[in-house]
Amino acid sequence: MSLIKCKVCGNHISSKLKNCPYCDYPVQNKSSKLPIGYLIIILFIIFAIVININNTSKTEAVSKVNNTNKLAYELATINKGGYVSETDITITRFDYLLRSLENKTFESKSEIADMTVKCQKILREKYGIEMKLLSIMEDLNDSIPSGSKVKYAEIAGVYIQQIK
């Protein structure tokens, strides 16, 4: 038990009392510190939640970028026939071509990537023509005028017939 000074009448009273026995003023012993303690905990929880949300959205943004670049990276690897650095210029090029071709064709990016690889395989195995994946995709992209909507598979078929 400790003695404190009443703020109103100035008498020394026990800090454990709820009200001053002299003037009945409510004794503010330690209870005034409690809301601040709670406030700090609540702020800390809010802070932790905000940090967590921020990190989650960052992770999602990164994985979105990775998904878009993943195809381009795979194509760059096939194009080179081995490991390519993540900053390799062909990744950017494949990424651009995939976007461009997706706009001009009915196929999805992954379908476009698959068909280009198939196209290269047909040229190599059926006609003995060795062509870089990037060249095939550049040629196909050039052959489709912007603003048009075509089937990539058909364009690739015509391309093979012209090349062989």
Residues contributing to the site for Zn ion (CB under 5 A) = 6, 8-9, 20, 22-23, 25
Q: How far is the CB of 12 from Zn ion (least distance, A)?
A: 10
Where are the strands (E) in 8-130, listed by range? 12-14
Q: How far is the CB of 35 from Zn ion (least distance, A)?
A: 23
Q: How far is the CB of 26 from Zn ion (least distance, A)?
A: 10
Three-class secondary structure of residue 130 per DSSP: coil
CA gap 19, 24 in Å, rounded = 5
Q: How far is the CB of 28 from Zn ion (least distance, A)?
A: 12
9/48 with CB nearer Zn ion: 9
Q: What is the dihedral of CA 54, 59, 61, 66, to 10 degrees?
A: 170
13/101 with CB nearer Zn ion: 13
Determine how many CB atoms are found less than 10 A away from the CB of residue 27.
18
Are 77 and 94 contacting, i.e. CB atoms less than 8 angstroms apart? Answer: no
8/131 with CB nearer Zn ion: 8
* Tokens encoding 100: 């461009």
11/69 with CB nearer Zn ion: 11
Helix (H) or strand (E) holding 82: none
